[in-house]
Structure 1
């Protein structure tokens, strides 16, 4: 997923290497953490299933886990930037700011970040689903 983000950013001609590095690390981290979680969920969903439902479980699990963890990492990074303007930690007002900042970050990721998965990330998702299908079938 990091390579997909890198390719998309280079195609879009981003010119700041530090920003490119940050985005690539966020996407690579989301994919790295999302894969084992998705594999576990796919195994749970595909217990006793034939090949088609097992593939669908692997495909959906990989997509949701990868996007979810990447959005979470983006929200945490976004929150760390805005923390300097937030109220004292663990106060009621801080909690409201934290929730709204995280929600804004996830929305911004959905609008701007999801496009970095296409077209290369989608192909990697398909290959990953085929590979995890093999693991799902061996789990039975």
Structure 2
């Protein structure tokens, strides 16, 4: 039997169509990054407010961290999500945006936290490029990511989850 069968899903499209569809328009990329960063900032501030009334000596640093995490995650998440969502049913598009936005935002915010953590501890580390430095860099970063996952991840809740669902729904609906 030649050609695609009628009961086969529409996943036989050429790869180039999928790659072209994955490339978002620049205004969506830039405005979306700013908006997503602002949402993550609001989420972190609400999380801090609900937990301790914003009583922290590092409020500005936390605000910048969560804003930057959302801002820098968006340009990575959007093309990947669009790639996976291309020519899929609405539920699959929603899932693609939901999973990639979640993973990219957590990963980018954890990475930025780890680099800040590393910067703080670098004064006690071995000289750059040495074997000991590499060992210290890797394990300091791993412990910082772990600390972020345990302590910092909860600042995305409850507002971050709402923002994630609404944004994923909006993006899935827009991409047909």
Check whether TM > 0.5.
yes
Aligned equivalent of 1:136:
175
- RMSD of aligned alpha carbons: 1.2
Matched, 1:74 2:113: yes
Aligned equivalent of 2:79:
40
Aligned equivalent of 1:12:
51
Q: Larger relative CO (CA 8 A, sep 6+): 1 or 2?
A: 1
Find the structure with the greater CA-based Rg.
2
Aligned equivalent of 1:84:
123
**TM-superposed deviation, 1:86:** 0.3
Aligned equivalent of 1:23:
62
Distance 2:60 2:109 in 1: 15
Distance 2:60 2:175 in 1: 34
**TM-superposed deviation, 1:135:** 4.3
Matched-pair contact (CA < 8 Å) for 1:39–1:132: no
Cα displacement string for residues 74-100 of structure 1 (whole angstroms, at most 9, x for unaligned residues): 000100000000000011100000000
Q: Which runs of 4+ in 1 moved over 3 A?
A: none
Matched-pair contact (CA < 8 Å) for 1:42–1:136: no
- Gapped runs of 5+ residues in structure 1? none
1:43-62 aligned within 5 A: 43-62=82-101
Matched-pair contact (CA < 8 Å) for 1:9–1:116: yes
In the alignment of these two chains, the number of paired residues is: 136
Aligned equivalent of 2:133:
94
Cα displacement string for residues 47-68 of structure 1 (whole angstroms, at most 9, x for unaligned residues): 2211110110011011001111
**TM-superposed deviation, 1:27:** 0.7
- Gapped runs of 5+ residues in structure 2? 1-39
